[in-house]
Amino acid sequence: MIYNIGSINADYFYNVSHIPRPGETLAATRVERGLGGKGVNQSVAMKNAGSSVRHLGAVGEDGEWMVEKLSSAGVDTARIVSLSGPSGHAIITIADDGENAITIFPGANRLIDSDQVQLWLATISATDWLVLQNETSQQRLAAELAKSRGARVVYSAAPFDAEVVADILPFIDFLCVNEIEAAALINHFNVKSLNNLGVNALLITHGSQGAVYHNFEKKLEITVKGIPVQVVDTTGAGDTFCGYFIALLSQGKDPLAALNIANKAAALKVTKLGTADAIPSLVDVLDFNNER
Ligand code: RIB
């Protein structure tokens, strides 16, 4: 079972010609609301990749629709809590070239307390995985608890905060970052390469260029090239990649095969507007023709 203590956001997508510059006002040509949050996106990706996923998180009084949507995607939502105050939401500005800028309001995601985390993880064991991102509270406690019970702990260092990474790093088996976060980590820890950080495994996504997976224990490095597609919206592509890859690894899939499937899943996501709602099914991913 994969436990994911992750954010649950209402994503508001605004299509604009370009990302506004400081002081600029722009009229959006379209607005949409969908389900998102780095946590939810990864839960949906992991479920679509064929894993059993228990999402652990918090919404506010306005969040029932998000829990229902996540549940109808096949994710176990029974332990999601409802807290007083607003849910998390994200303002996502999407430019014509598919690039984005995101502002999040954390809301209930950052109100999760230590008692709740202990309750959620009371049953986690050595056969389970715990997935975390940097949009919820109590991440270090969660990682420490899961690690002490022998579970594998995966951390996506996004939104990036070097101090948070430093705090949680001793309890992490597997780190997911993009290339900007990887460079910031090298800089912050003043190391030559990320294999000096002490994590066993590392996934670095490089946007349209592909991704690299390192397993330092096994001295393994695998690279995949990005698949050229018609870009509509890059939001959530990293979550899709990471979610698919973790799920397939946790199912015992060979890392090269897992990386290739995750790469296709992320490429397909980019062809659609949206986040959790736009994450492709495994059937669509396996049907996806690399050559086009
Ligand atoms: O990675 C994309 C996600 O970041 C969006 O779904 C948004 O909610 C923010 O958390």
Domain hosting residue 163, numbered range: 2-7+37-80+114-291
Q: Which residues pair with 221 in a beta bridge?
A: 214
CATH number assigned to the domain comprising residue 255: 3.40.1190.20
Residue 136 inside a domain? The answer is yes
How far apart CA 193 and CA 166 sit, in angstroms, is 15
Going from the first residue of the chain to its last (292 residues), give the mean pLDDT of each consecutive group of 10, the final group possibly shorter.
98 97 96 98 98 98 98 98 98 92 97 98 98 98 98 96 94 96 92 87 96 95 97 95 98 97 98 97 91 51
Per-residue pLDDT at 290 = 60
User: Amino acid identity, residue 228?
Assistant: P
The 3-class secondary structure across the chain, one letter per residue, is CEEEECCCEEEEEEECCCCCCCCCCCCCCEEEEEEECHHHHHHHHHHHCCCCEEEECEECCCCHHHHHHHHHCCCECCCCEECCCCCEEEEEEECCCCCEEEEEECHHHHCCCHHHHHHHCCCCCCCCEEEEECCCCCHHHHHHHHHHCCCEEEEECCCCCHHHHHHHHHHCCEEEEEHHHHHHHHHHHCCCCHHHCCCCEEEEECHHHEEEEEECCCCEEEEEECCCCCCCCCCCHHHHHHHHHHHHHHCCCCHHHHHHHHHHHHHHHHCCCCCHHHCCCHHHHHHCCCCC
Question: Which atom of ligand 1 is closest in space to residue 239's alpha carbon?
Answer: 1
Residue 31 inside a domain? The answer is no
Residues 6+ apart with CB under 8 A from 204: 177, 178, 179, 182, 194, 211, 212, 214
Centre of ligand 1 from the C-alpha of residue 220, in Å: 30
Pocket test residue of 55, 132, 239, 240 for ligand 1, highest count of atoms within 8 A of CB = 239
Residue 157 inside a domain? The answer is yes
Per-residue pLDDT at 245 = 98
Residue 246 inside a domain? The answer is yes
Q: Are 100 and 21 in contact (CB under 8 A)?
A: no
Q: Are 267 and 287 in contact (CB under 8 A)?
A: no
Specify the number of domains making up the chain: 1
Centre of ligand 1 from the C-alpha of residue 178, in Å: 14
Q: Are 71 and 79 in contact (CB under 8 A)?
A: no
Q: Are 276 and 35 in contact (CB under 8 A)?
A: yes
Task: Answer positive or negative: Cα dihedral of 184, 138, 244, 257.
Answer: positive
Q: Are 273 and 12 in contact (CB under 8 A)?
A: no
Please report, in angstroms and rounded to a whole number, the separation of the first and last CA atoms in the chain.
35
Residue 97 inside a domain? The answer is no
Per-residue pLDDT at 291 = 52
Residue 13 inside a domain? The answer is no
Residue 268 inside a domain? The answer is yes
For residue 128 and ligand 1, the question of a CB distance below 6 A is answered with no
239 is a catalytic site residue? yes
Centre of ligand 1 from the C-alpha of residue 83, in Å: 20
For residue 102 and ligand 1, the question of a CB distance below 6 A is answered with yes
For residue 90 and ligand 1, the question of a CB distance below 6 A is answered with yes
Per-residue pLDDT at 204 = 97
Residue 28 inside a domain? The answer is no
